[in-house]
Structure 1
Amino acid sequence: MSILNNIQTIYFIGIGGIGMSALARFAKLKGLNVCGYDKTETSLTKTLVSEGITVGYVDEISALPESITNKQNTLVIYTPAIPKDNVIFNWFLAENYTMMKRAKLLGEITKDTLCLAVAGTHGKTTTSAILGHLLAACNMPVTAFLGGIAENYKSNFISRGTEITVVEADEFDRSFLTLSPDIACVTSMDADHLDIYGSAQEIEKSFTDFASLLPKKENLLYKKGLPLNGQSVAIEEDADFEAQNVRIENGAYIFDLKTPNQKLTDLQFFLPGHHNLHNAITAVGMALLADAPIALLPKALSSFKGVERRFSYKIRRDNLVLIDDYAHHPTEINALFQAVAEMYPGDEKLIVFQPHLFSRTKDFADGFAESLAQFDQILLLDIYPAREKPMEGVSSDWLLSKIFDVIKASPVERSRNLHEIAKLINKTELISEIKKSKCRVKLLVGAGDIGAEVEFITKTLSDEN
């Protein structure tokens, strides 16, 4: 980690991001002075402040702390999602500070460790959180940088030692190619980030390039069916790591895991959905490749509580089930539907969905319409733009018209008319519309600022019953 040898201060531009904040916590633990900027105060930035990290919310040079004035011992880390007109970013650039992307720092931190990297367009956060938890619960010397808040630790950062690292290998901006993985997985390779890659073929090539970083192909686990070389993972389908005899008992998956060298029986895992079960199999496989003690793995797996905003139960009672989830791609919404349909087969289901990014909505509009139309009722919020400017013709109203087309073409009879099944609403109508719905199972879904509404909605619905 020679890059940090002469550094006293690290300034993070976009410190409130889930990946950035994990690195900020690591730097603080190393005894460095840590500070940063983000555009809005969130529960995550408040937590960083409570841990002794300085966070500013004003994009002006006058708001920068004095601790960054010595450019010789200050390192500036930024996320590629930062807007190009960010004043602070451009000032550091003009003043010739040492600057690097988040992924580059992550690569530097992990290159002299046994690095376990979790890649895939979906499933990274849950898989890496399970893996980090397995190794920590097995008393292994692990540091895990997570893209979500692990419920077991109430943090996106696990620190139990520095010999092993667990990281999310992010395909956005080809960031994962800066890593030096020793063991890795690829959970999925669906088209996404087409604003960066341009085509599905380019995304596939980047994952192939990532896989080539491994010292040997046997150290790569991949979902069976992907065009990769390594060891395959599947559920009830012949594979190197295969879940067999899968059943549901008391709200948990019980299964046996066949590996190339042994068989683990009656494993227990509490997260719903085949996508989560697949994530669990992959994480156990990676833990075995990292020489985790087999005897301790079953208990470690059964004790995993999940990740915030990944099928997170907010209310569970006879007349209402409220679930919060980060899904923001049609494949993820399909996986979410499979999970709730399996767990609540007889109940009607409402989805409140906030599309994330104009480009993603445009690229996958038909897929979004198909996946959303599976639900009994759909409440659609306006598109959350994040880093993007509006695109002409791309809106939630446009997406709604596509959902209507799917519903009208479906052979399934619906008792409600189209505008009762699906409608566009704004945030001020959220509570009243959710209350109006007769669906027992209600889901709050999306990667935008819908997450900020979840606690208020939960409290309001809880107080009424």
Structure 2
Amino acid sequence: MNINNIHNVYFIGIGGIGMSALARYFVANGKIVAGYDKTKTDITEALVDLGVKVHFEDSVNNITAPFLNAETTLVIYTPAVPKDHKELNFFKNNNYEVLKRSTVLGEITKNTFCLAVAGTHGKTTTTSILGHLLYQSNVEVTAFLGGISENYNSNFILNGTKVTVVEADEFDRSFLTLSPDMACITSMDADHLDIYGEADELKKSFVEFSKKIKPNGKLFVKSGLPIKGITYGIEDDSDYSVQNIKIINGSYEFDVKTPTQTLHNFKFNLPGRHNLSNALIALAMSVEYGIPQQQLATALASYKGVKRRFTYQIKTEDLVFIDDYAHHPEEINAVHQAVREMYPNKKVLAIFQPHLFSRTRDFADDFAKSLSQFDDILLLDIYPARELPISGINSEWLLTKIKNNNKKLIQKSELISSIKQSNAQVILTIGAGDIGEEVKHIKQALSVAS
């Protein structure tokens, strides 16, 4: 792929969070960009505002000049697109260069100093913290994020092309296209078993990723993971460790022990030990890159988070409404820990939309255990995403496994009335499906009610 020879870039699945970041990259590099997605969203609207033509009907008639020239057009697609997609097959059958998103990302980052963030949880938050720290420290960085940064209102940060920061996504082994100078692995919990079959295969894939690092590169691993590297952890004897943690006015204040010294006076505004761990590894990679401590402390204190990652929608004395993307039992446990740490004496209502039939089947008992910890639970139907239904796997079945009497299966149309019937002081919406589209309606209803 020679970017200089490409004038036009066409995306199939342009509204995806990773795809839209790439679309922004090509717009910033002066290319003509267009594409298809299944549904109109805030992300596609933001691309249209940049001058990108986006359509929502899979039809070859939507492919117009200049994208009819195969020699000057690159086509990028997401693996979530079905194999019978008409536009995708038109490009494949007419000698276009048709590449997966992960392959293109590998090509873009190949000739840069690449920092990659891998792990089954924490990738997006860690990547956005790392991108923010480098950007605020005036590094010439391009960062591709898997979520919308609250600081930049975008999933793309651009301040030059010397350094790239990317999420190294384990889904369909995408991260094996990267060859980073520095990388971290935040977690290796079983996930994507629809792709890998079993947890051991996923672990092997992370080991393979660890071998992709360039000669003399550095690998950071969360302490306790079965891969060798520079370790990091919270209040332990890792190479990089958070020490002297205090919670002051809802923020963490702490020191960082490095292999050679202790760095003092860091402040971080996101709740939850999982987020503190994400901040630590972003700091560790920045320190190893060579950013001075004072610049890092200033930058970290100004970090606001990622949309749908423990995002406060309402925060008053009487009512707190938080929205989170958690879609794995361990992620739900992390949200629970954060809520209980910040609001120890308040009643908590969790509204959960399971994501994928296969994931619900594979982790049903763990989902039930993690959800049972909340005071009240409202469960929505499973969001299918790319999957067809699996016989016997549904939210009714999952509800029977939850050991908590204050549980209820509801439809989306019953959401607001069910929430209003609760006397919970902390309300959580959790899940990676279209529950995120309901957040603004819930916020509006609760704001009117209060």
Q: Please tell me the residue identity of whatever aligns with 1:202.
A: E
The residue that corresponds to 2:21 in the other structure is 22
Corresponding residue for residue 439 of structure 2:
454
- Does 2:205 correspond to 1:220? no
Counterparts of 2:442 and 2:10 in 1: how far apart (Å)?
35
Q: Does 1:67 align with 2:52?
A: no
Aligned residue runs from structure 1 range 38-77, under 5 A: 38-77=37-76
Residues 51-450 of structure 1: pairs in structure 2 closer than 5 A: 51-215=50-214, 219-403=218-402, 406-407=403-404, 418=405, 421-450=406-435
Q: Distance in 2 between matches of 1:390 and 1:371?
A: 23
**1:363 & 1:217 partners in 2: Cα distance?**
39
Q: Can you list the C-alpha shifts for 1:258-312, whole angstroms capped at 9, x where unaligned?
A: 0112211121001000000000000000111211222211010111000000000
What letter is aligned with 2:24? Answer: R
Partner letter of residue 50 of structure 1?
Answer: D
TM-score, structure 2 normalization: 0.99
What root-mean-square deviation, in Å, do the aligned CA atoms of Structure 1 and Structure 2 show?
Answer: 1.0
| 1:410 match | none
Please give the per-residue CA displacement for 1:304-342, whole angstroms capped at 9, x wherever unaligned: 000000000000112210000000000000000000000
Normalised to the residue count of structure 1, the TM-score between the two structures is 0.95
Q: In the aligned structure 2, how far is the partner of 1:93 from the partner of 1:211?
A: 32
What is the letter of the counterpart of residue 459 of structure 1?
Answer: Q
Which AA in structure 2 matches 1:262?
A: Q
1:148-206 CA-partner distances (Å, limit 9, x unpaired): 00000000000011000000000000000000100000000000000100111110011
The percent of aligned pairs where both chains have the same amino acid is 59
Query: Unaligned regions of 5+ residues in structure 1, if any?
Result: 408-417
Q: Distance in 2 between matches of 1:306 and 1:458?
A: 19
Alignment of 1:7-18 (within 5 A): 7-18=6-17
Aligned residue identity for 2:21: A
Which has the larger displacement, 89-98 or 314-323?
89-98
* SS at structure 2 position matched to 1:26: helix
* Alpha-carbon offset, residue 66 of structure 1: 2.3
Please say if residues 221 and 233 of structure 1, whose CA atoms lie closer than 8 Å, have aligned partners that are also in contact.
Answer: yes
Give the 3-state SS of the residue equivalent to 1:430 in structure 2: helix
Q: Residues 200-228 of structure 1, C-alpha deviation per residue, up to 9 Å, x if partnerless?
A: 11100110111111135771111100001
Q: Which amino acid aligns with 1:425?
A: I
Alpha carbons 1:8, 1:33 under 8 Å: kept: yes
CA shift digits 1:51-81 (9 cap, x unpaired) = 1111010011112232211011111000111
**Deviation per residue, 1:335-370 (Å, 9 max, x gap):** 000000000000010000000000000000000000
| Worse-superposed segment, 213-222 or 171-180 | 213-222
Q: Which amino acid aligns with 1:168?
A: E
Q: CA deviation at 1:244?
A: 0.6
Deviations 1:38-61, CA, capped at 9 Å, x for gaps = 000001100000011110100111
Alpha-carbon distance in structure 1 between the residues aligned to 2:236 and 2:105:
35
Say if 1:252 and 1:268, in contact at 8 Å, map to a contact too.
yes
User: CA separation in 2, counterparts of 1:114 and 1:217?
Assistant: 12
Report if the CA contact (8 A) 2:143-2:156 is conserved: yes
Match of 1:414 in 2: none
Tell me, yes or no, if the aligned pair for 2:180 and 2:217 is still in contact at 8 Å. Answer: no
| Cα displacement (A) at 1:462 | 1.1
SS of the aligned residue for 2:2 comes to: helix
Contact 1:74 1:98 in 2 (8 A): yes
Letter in 2 for 1:128: T
Q: Separation in 1 of the partners of 2:216 and 2:285?
A: 13
In the TM superposition, what is the alpha-carbon distance from 1:243 to its structure 2 partner?
A: 0.4
SS at match of 2:39: coil
Partner of 1:412: none
CA contact (8 A) 2:131 2:141 kept: yes
Three-state SS of the structure 2 residue aligned to 1:5 is: helix
Aligned-partner Cα distance in 1 for 2:214–2:167: 18
Question: Is 93-102 or 364-373 further displaced after alignment?
Answer: 93-102
Return the offset for 1:4.
1.2
Distance 1:251 1:456 in 2: 27
Aligned equivalents of 2:84, 2:420: Cα separation in 1: 41
Contact 1:133–1:304 (8 Å) recurs in 2: yes
- Using a 3 Å threshold, how does the CA distance of structure 1 residues 188 and 447 change in structure 2: closer, same or farther? same
| Equivalent residue, structure 2, for 1:411 | none
Residue 464 of structure 1 and its aligned partner are, at CA, apart by 2.3
- Structure 2 SS opposite 1:68: coil
2-structure distance, mates of 1:83, 1:362? 22
Q: Secondary structure at the match of 2:391?
A: coil
Q: Is the 8 A contact 2:11 2:35 kept in 1?
A: yes
